[in-house]
Amino acid sequence: MLKGRHLIEPGDLSLSEIDDICSLAEQMIVDPVAFQDVCRGKILAALFFEPSTRTRLSFEAAALRLGGSVEGFADASSTSTTKGETLADTIRVVSSYADIIAIRNPKEGAALLASKYSSCPIINAGDGGHYHPTQTLTDLLTIRQLRGGFENQTVGFCGDLMFGRTVHSLAQALSRYKGNKFIFISPKELTIPEYMIKNVLEPAGVEYMLADRLEDVIGSLDILYMTRVQKERFFNEQDYIRLKDSYILDNQKMKLAKKDMIVLHPLPRVNEIAPEVDADPRAAYFKQVRYGMFARMALIAKLTGCL
C-alpha cells in the first residue's frame, strides 16, 4: 500500500510498486475521463522554492485532472521564509491544510527533512543535485511506452552528470533491472559522482563505462538521455561558459544512431539538442512531458489513497 507514504528518492518504491504506478498511469492515458473525479476534495500543496515550469505545472495539472485542487507558491520570496521561518515550521503549517505536498528545494536533503515534520505525504520534486523521483517515474513510463520495458537497455547519459539529479535518479532506478548497461558521456569536470559508482552501480553489478565523445558511442545506445549543463549549479561563471556547449545533439550525430533509439531529456533544453532533431521520430522528449503528467496523476492517486 502506498497510501500515506513519502516519496523522497526512487529507492523508496519497490519494483512492483513502480510497475503498479506505471500500469495505473497507462490506464489514465487510455481513458482519462474515467479518473477525472477520483481525488475530488483532495488538496495538493505545490511548494517550489526553486524555479520550475514543467514539474510544477505537471503536478498542478495532475491534481486538477483527478478532480483535486491546488495551493502553494512558485516563488519562495513571497513566503515567510524571507522572515526567517524554518522549513520544518513551513511544512508543519502547510501539511495542516493539504492532503499531499510536492516540494522542490535547492538544498540536498530538504525533502527528507520535510518528511519528518509533515502530517501528510511528501513528494520530492527535486532537492538540489540529489534526487528527482517523479522525473524518474516520468522517464520510466516513457521507456515502458516506447521501448516496451525496463530491462536489457543500453542507456547513454550525456551532459552534466555531476549535478544532474535526474541522471542520478534514473540511473539508480534502472540499475535495479536486469541486463541494463550505462554509458556516461561528459567532460571530466562533470562526470558521474563517485558516490553513484560506489553506492549504486557497483553494488548492483551494473556494467558501465565513461566516455567523452558522444559520436564514439551513440551507435550502441537504445536510449540517449541528454541533459543541459546547469548554470545554477556553478559557482564560477567562467567554468559554466567553458562547458555549457560540450555536447550538442544534431542531425549529423543522429545519423550514427540506431533506427529505434529514443532521445529523452528532462528539459528545459538550452543548446544541447538542436531544434532540427525535434522532427526526428526518435525524439521523445515532448512525449515524455505528457507522460510525466500521467505518472504524477497515478502517484498522487496512490499516495492519497484515492485509488
| Residues forming the active site | 54-55, 83, 104, 132
Instruction: Provide the 8-state DSSP code for 288.
Output: H
Q: Quick one: which H or E segment has residue 125? A: strand 122-127
Alpha carbons 208 and 126: distance in angstroms, whole number: 25
* Contact between 162 and 129 (Cβ < 8 Å): yes
Q: How many angstroms separate the Cα of 204 from the Cα of each of 4, 61, 144, 150, 152?
A: 29, 36, 21, 15, 14
Q: Quick one: which H or E segment has residue 292? A: helix 285-303
List the one residue out of 129, 236, 145 whose CA is nearest residue 192: 129
Bridge partners of residue 211, in order along the sequence: 185
How distant is the alpha carbon of residue 211 from its chain centre? 23
How distant is the alpha carbon of residue 114 from its chain centre? 19
Q: Could you tell me the three cell numbers for 211?
A: 566516455
